[in-house]
Structure formats: C-alpha cells, structure tokens
Amino acid sequence: MIIKRLKDVPFADTSGLDKVTKKIVIGPSDGSEEIVLRYFSVGPGGASPQHTHGFPHLVKIEAGEGAVVDDKGQEHSVAKGDYVYIKDNEIHQFRNKGPDPFDFICIVPRRGEG
C-alpha cells in the first residue's frame, strides 16, 4: 500500500505548456504498472493544448471553474465534483475559465504516461 500527500509529490516536466502544472501522484515508480493517476493545475487564462491520443482518460474536477473543449471547439463547462470521460482518439482540451486555479485528477493507462 502506498499513501501520499499531494503537497509532497514533485512537479513533472511541463515545459512547453503555458500555465499548466502536473504531478504524477501514483505511477510506475510506485509499482503501478497498469494505471497512472496524475494531478493537473491550470492557472487563470491557461489551457492544455487541443490534442488527441490513443488512450482514454478518467477525469475528476477538484477545484476552480473550467471547460472541456471538444473537436468542434464547443466548450462544456465543468466545476468541482464533475467527472469527465474522454475516449481513445477523442480531440479535447482543458481550459481555465475562472480567476482561480482549475485543478483536476486525470487517470490514464500506463501507456498514456510516457
């Protein structure tokens, strides 16, 4: 069993991303060979790139106000307590829509984390 506190988890490299931080909370270095739990924070005015990849995401919004943008550019508002499922190869983007950090947990299969 592994128990961690988010504040003790180091930041992962997000060079090239503006106003986005990431922590790999549970992953291969913890012995998790099948799933990876990541924690993202998007600063005010920030967004992840619009992108797609060949694995699904399970997302839980933890704080702030945001939007998930679909392949047509339509924004779907999300807030603390909401859940999002993104399918394999589905174009998506996360945007901060408020004045505070927009934080979410993102769970992916091992192949989704480098």
How many residues would you count in the chain? 114
pLDDT in tens, 29-40: 999 999 999 999
Report which of 61, 73, 56, 71 is spatially closest to residue 100, judged by C-alpha positions. 61
Q: In the chain, pLDDT over 90 holds for what percent of residues?
A: 93
CA pair distance 31, 97, nearest whole angstrom:
36
Instruction: Give the single-character DSSP code of 100.
Output: S
Q: What is the pLDDT of residues 38-79, one digit of tens each?
A: 999 999 999 999 999 999 999 999 999 999 999 999 999 999
- pLDDT of 113 reads 86
Residue 114 confidence (pLDDT) above 80:
no
Could you tell me the strand order of the sheet in which 75-79 lies? 75-79, 65-69, 93-96
- CA of residue 37 relative to chain centroid, distance: 9
Q: Which of 65, 48, 61, 67 is nearest to 99 (CA)?
A: 65
For residue 101, the model assigns a pLDDT of 98
Q: Give which of 84, 96, 99 is closest to 19, Cα–Cα.
A: 96
Cβ–Cβ < 8 Å for 102, 65: yes
